[in-house]
Structure 1
Amino acid sequence: MRKLLLALLVVAVMAMPAFASVQNIKVSGSIDSAAVYRENFELGLNSSATRDEVQNLFLTITKVGIDADLTDNVAATVELINERAWGVDNATHGEVDVNLAYVTLREMLYSPLTVVIGRQKIVWGNALIIGANYTIDSAVTAMARDLSQQAGFDAIKIVLDYNPLTIQGIFSRITDTQTGLHADEKSDVNLYGINATYEIGDDMDSVVEAYVIKQVDHTTDDSDGDEILVKGIRGSMNPIEGLNLQAEVALQTGTFVSAANTHATRKAKAVQLMSNYKIPALEDYNPVVAYTFSYFSGDENSTVTASDYTAWNSMYNNDNAGKIYDALFDESNLII
């Protein structure tokens, strides 16, 4: 009995610092259910389809999250998720995945610096380039990728807040094909980026954002790897009450690789214009009239030669999430 009491006392003493170091805990969650019916959803683009195709399913997405303030400047977030279709085998669709898991370190080294490490959401601007990482495995992804809520990046994010200027830098490991000891040093997909946002502070709440993003894909058969370099700028303003206008332009350069020693020079571009108007006279109902124009360049020559490759790579966009055309088409060779 004495040994048992002593053991309990030791456990309690060890647990006390852990509980004492947590200032606040917030538990959140959601359960979303949907019925999905799609008929000929590929619009005849699938040449292998010999008859009408129908998709009919019910699905439920369950999320449970915990946000904990460990100290004044240290916080942790964990969110678990289950995405499954009704009536399927739990062995393949019943797993619980880690949707988010990151630590936030505020005022690290000095006050303007914040560091976020782990699986996290990263959204730049209107998510034209970076908004969602759909490379994460999910049961719903195999059935209806556009309905999946798993979109986090395994990344390190650095934020420098020099109000009204905010600078972000990111490194993300998108794909890791070799986690053990191996001879091939270059076998991963890595994403790098830097973003600067400046709030001008005028009467129109004008904001200017510029970014440089680079992705290096060494999973190809070519030793040099497939590289995408994106440079872009976005502007936003509210010229009159209720009206928001935005414009964004981005250019892609780099090297396109389709097979070993088969290269082309990337020269692609994207343009997006947006307007949103909230009608002041009906503010109790919060109606919004919105228009978006998007252009993504394509490539006339589908085979890679020594010529330029002008097809836009949609990368990790999430600007048209929930739209049917976003589920049907990649944002390349497209005008919306």
Structure 2
Amino acid sequence: MSVRVEAVTPPVDLGEGPHWSTKEQALYYVDIFSQKVHRFHPVSGTQSTLHIEGGPVTFVVPHVDKLNTFVVSVGRNLALVTWPDPTKDATVTSISIIASVDLPHERNRFNDAKCDPLGRLWAGTMGDTDVPENPFPYLGSLYLMAENGKVTQVLDKVSISNGLAWSEDRRTFYYVDTCEYKLEAFTCDLEKGTLGERRTIYDYREGGLYPAFPDGLTIDCQGRLWVACFGAAKVHCINPKSGKIEDSVTLPTDHITSVTFGGRDLDELYVTTTTKRLTKEQLAAQPSAGAVFRVTGLKTKGRPNVDCNLNIK
């Protein structure tokens, strides 16, 4: 592929959770431990920041019809926040908590999250670690938040919950538990919000990518999965039908965290990265580490990110 890769934002510590707003034509993403939500508007080239006090912020999803309202994670809590004017910097000191999870594990936190095609939030948790060689394995879960705000556990014994996506026919759910070093698929009854048979699509150890590992992911209009590969400076395009890597994009920094399609035609791939776990020598050689990158020329398009349909009274 003839592609162009360019850094479009300043670096942050741990960029994650990219969500493209088709309404605003803007990219939202987080800097987890700095507890910040960032908004990048490509047309104007501007960026604004919302600081949220209270704990790590790992994802941000706009509400479908409540202006300037977002579902975010704050530690082990799902919460609603209002950003009065997303084009301007602000700080939130008061949040409205929807639900708290993993109560027996105080050091757990949420990680990746996405809304399914019905607008319901699926969000996973993890133990107190940031490495696949997890000293606190199987303490997390994957949760589903219904429109009425009720939260149910759909998968347990998760170590580091990551990338989520659904097939176009809504019968397959794609998922990454980073500590398994696998991209996996579940049969899915979306109406009931349940998962069934589990299978491996791509094993990163068997594919020779270890010690790099899968992180966030997105899906294109051809049903292929674009998966951030942490530690390999790449985003891999994996065909779930063949279980093979069909394409890849190389980034100018090693630690790739997540991806989403954006742009007016959804033909631009936005990639979040981090400075975490880079040595001083690596940071000097990779000055754009932590930036969001825009990849163009992929000759494919993504599907729109879905906003959250939580019923707010």
Shared fold (TM-score greater than 0.5)?
Answer: no
TM score, norm. by length of structure 1:
0.31
Q: Higher relative contact order by CA 8 Å / sep ≥ 6: 1 or 2?
A: 2
Task: Kindly name which structure, 1 or 2, has the bigger radius of gyration based on alpha carbons.
Answer: 1
TM score, norm. by length of structure 2:
0.32
